[in-house]
Chains A and B, each alone.
Chain A
Amino acid sequence: MLLQVDDIHVHYGQVAAVKGISLEVDEADFVALIGSNGAGKSTTLRTISGLEHPSAGSIVFDGVAIDRMSADRIVRLGIAHVPEGRRVFKDLTVSENLRLGAFTRSDQQEIEDDLEKILTRFPRLRERKDQMARTMSGGEQQMVAIGRALMSKPRMLLLDEPSLGLAPLIVQEIARILIEINHSGVAVVLVEQNAELALELARHGYVLETGNIALEGEASGLMDNDHVRRAYLGI
């Protein structure tokens, strides 16, 4: 077991956003969290990566308790988080953004090699590596954000709504890239409102409703579930 989240509760002030969520992610697993707005998906991801801390429950990554750790230390353990809205550094160039992804690393030569790999994987970024990130389209910024996360050499990648606001063609490209990443041995945890896309890509799925897990299971099984079909797939 790579990641074990056990009955976590998370509060924003007095408001409970997550009320007892447990989930498990295996080495090189692909897990989807689906649910409507406010179900606690983003909060769950933010808590795993250390931006929030649970008021109860525990999170263990590769045998290390991380629920009290600061975000910058969690990155060093091998968790990379592509946050909602991409959050690229808009006044930095594409290549500066990517290099910042490797901030925790000191192996200069390997960093250069990895940068080269990422620019090969995202040819559009190579053309624009000296441009300010703000000049890029939404899809390209998403690629920067994913590339930046990969530069930390993660063992697990958390993605928060990567398809949001992107054209269908770009969404497909992102989906293809996520599969490639997963196949290279990186575990992926994907939060999506686009439940169809998420369940197509993932092996396991969790359905979140008002801070709790309503359903969980094989992604293909969830896809056939009546409740899921009605509430999230619109069928």
Chain B
Amino acid sequence: MELFLQSIANGLVQGGFFALFAVGLVLIFGVMGVVNFAHGELVMVGAFTIWLLHAQYGLGYIPAIAVAIVLVTVIGLVMERLLFRPTRADPLAGLICSIGILFILQVIAALIGGDGPSKQVPPPYQGTLVMFESLRIPYQRVFSLAISVAALVSLWFFLTRTRYGWALRAVALDREAAELQGINTNRISMVAIGVGTALAGLAGGLIAPLTNINPHMGHNVIVTAFIVTIVGGVGSLSGAVLAAILYAVFHTLITVYFGATIATISGLVLMVVVLIVKPTGLMGVRVSE
């Protein structure tokens, strides 16, 4: 029972982190029609920024996260302006451009970080929260979960309570009909990629003290993001959040009781089963309507 509770807690922390980058991927895909393969590398850039500024140069953790978010957002905006917008007519072109960016970011990280082992960031928040005597969550993870939830709630508020939020959802649903409402879809694309990449930068900042940081860490991130997106229903934000949490708890429990390899296989099997049984995902809708 203790182990079960501990695992649920660990799964929720992971789920919050998964949701941050999966939601960004869905936003960008939904609004711009681009599968951003470089999304994992954006998380990596966020984590690298923390390593460089916080662990190497002693900038505070929170300011370093702020810089990571700004930097990753700028990269995203440049990608939209210089690559995705000019290639909008061709759905494959955006994808190929994003794969190019993926490699470029990896190489830049390797150049800045140098060769050698994965980087480590000492956790800024030391100590462990102990509940019910045996449930232990490091404060760093508590922090990570709290910020993830806060970011997701803010995003939800933005999307459902503000004019630009509605406009963003409208563009994702029907770009042309959105233009007919006077919505400048290029500007909304900038907002979408800005928000999506800012969340990736934040995710990188939060994961930095919890994992091995290296130029190709984005690979695992993007695989997880794809599973979560497909299980949640491509294009559905609430589906992505739900799937992120369910998948993280599922993966954590399988890891605990059956092993990590089985967990990875089960995750992929889950994705395939969803594709067969409910191709639209948990919250997805039929495209044919």
With a CB–CB cut-off of 8 A, which chain A residues contact B180? 49, 51, 71, 75, 80-81, 83, 87, 149
Residue in B169, B177, B182, B285 whose Cβ sees the most chain A Cβ within 10 Å:
B182
Q: Determine the distance from Cα of A229 to Cα of B179 in the docked complex, in whole angstroms.
A: 37
Q: How many A-B residue pairs have CB under 8 A?
A: 73
With a CB–CB cut-off of 8 A, which chain A residues contact B103? none
Partner-contacting stretch, out of A35-43, A97-105, A168-176, A216-224: A97-105
Cβ–Cβ contact A71 & B169, under 8 A: no
Q: Determine the distance from Cα of A51 to Cα of B179 in the docked complex, in whole angstroms.
A: 8
Kindly provide the distance from the CB of B85 to the nearest chain A CB, expressed in whole angstroms: 13
Q: Which of A82-99 contact B (CB under 8 A)?
A: 83, 87-92, 96, 99
With a CB–CB cut-off of 8 A, which chain A residues contact B2? none
Cβ–Cβ contact A100 & B289, under 8 A: no
Cβ–Cβ contact A152 & B289, under 8 A: no
Candidates A81, A100, A152; contact of B170 at CB < 8 Å? A100
Cβ–Cβ contact A72 & B176, under 8 A: no
Interface status of A148 (Cβ within 8 A of chain B):
yes
Interface size class of A (residues with CB under 8 A): 20 to 34
With a CB–CB cut-off of 8 A, which chain B residues contact A73? 182
With a CB–CB cut-off of 8 A, which chain A residues contact B184? 70, 72
Cβ–Cβ contact A92 & B289, under 8 A: no
Q: Determine the distance from Cα of A131 to Cα of B273 in the docked complex, in whole angstroms.
A: 31
Interface size on B, residues (CB 8 A): 19
Cβ–Cβ contact A89 & B182, under 8 A: no
With a CB–CB cut-off of 8 A, which chain B residues contact A76? 182
With a CB–CB cut-off of 8 A, which chain A residues contact B56? none
| Known A72-B182, A100-B170; contact A87-B163, beta-carbon cutoff 8 A | no
| Known A72-B184, A89-B174, A134-B285; contact A100-B179, beta-carbon cutoff 8 A | no
Kindly provide the distance from the CB of A142 to the nearest chain B CB, expressed in whole angstroms: 14
Q: Which of B147-205 contact A (CB under 8 A)?
A: 163, 166-167, 169-170, 173-174, 176-185
The 6 closest A-B pairs by CB, nearest first: A75-B182, A104-B182, A87-B177, A71-B179, A72-B184, A89-B170
What are 22 of the A-B contact pairs (CB < 8 Å)? Answer: A50-B179, A51-B179, A72-B181, A75-B180, A76-B182, A81-B180, A83-B176, A88-B177, A89-B170, A89-B173, A89-B177, A90-B173, A92-B170, A92-B173, A100-B166, A100-B167, A100-B170, A100-B181, A100-B183, A103-B182, A149-B180, A152-B181
Interface residues in chain A, defined as those with a beta carbon under 8 Å from any beta carbon in chain B: 49-51, 70-73, 75-76, 80-81, 83, 87-92, 96, 99-101, 103-104, 134, 148-149, 152
